[in-house]
């Protein structure tokens, strides 16, 4: 009888953990989808999609260390560039969520043409997402070149 009681207690205590793990997996899937949507929108120079993904007060730290506000970032999307990024894709993404805040880290790869020559770049990123009015939005992003 004690064994049955212990089993029932263990099952009851495991339910909240299972629900939390399921919620965590859902958040992780959503943030990964948002990261991929961001990469795709950037590649396609889709300012409308980027505007929806990025918070109005986002702080962007570029791979050269410069800071950029949302307006300047969106304006740079349509400006002619010396390089043409033909592919931007995540190589790895991990998400750590606590409540309505999620931190995604990983590496993305950019491939394209710069000054007539092909290039491949890898950057490590750290993005901070918050759930605001029921939707996830990116409030901070930084990228650092992977040099090795």
Q: Return d(Cα 76, Cα 57) in angstroms, integer.
A: 17
Q: Which domain holds residue 137?
A: 2-145
Q: What is the pTM of this model?
A: 0.77
- Tens-level pLDDT at each residue, the chain (148 residues): 554 444 433 444 444 444 445 457 899 999 999 999 998 898 888 999 999 999 999 999 998 899 999 999 999 887 666 556 666 777 889 999 999 999 999 998 888 888 888 889 899 999 999 999 999 999 999 999 998 7
Distance CA 92, CA 140 (A): 19
Tell me, what CATH number does 38's domain have?
A: 3.10.450.50
Task: Tell me which residue of 115, 94, 113, 92 sits closest to 103, measured CA to CA.
Answer: 94
The SS3 assignment for 115 reads coil
Domain count, the chain: 1
């Amino acid at each position: 009888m004690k064994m049955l009681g212990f089993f029932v207690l263990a099952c009851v205590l495991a339910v909240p953990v299972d629900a939390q793990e399921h919620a965590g997996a859902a958040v992780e899937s959503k943030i990964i989808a948002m990261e991929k949507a961001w990469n795709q929108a950037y590649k396609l120079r889709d300012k409308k999609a980027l505007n929806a993904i990025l918070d109005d007060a986002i702080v962007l730290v570029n791979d050269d260390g410069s800071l950029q506000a949302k307006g300047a970032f969106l304006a740079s999307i349509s400006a002619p560039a010396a390089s043409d990024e033909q592919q931007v894709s995540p190589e790895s993404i991990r998400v750590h969520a606590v409540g309505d805040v999620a931190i995604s880290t990983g590496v993305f790869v950019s491939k394209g043409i710069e000054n007539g020559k092909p290039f491949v770049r890898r950057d490590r990123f750290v993005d901070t997402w918050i759930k605001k009015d029921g939707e996830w939005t990116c409030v901070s992003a930084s990228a650092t070149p992977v040099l090795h």
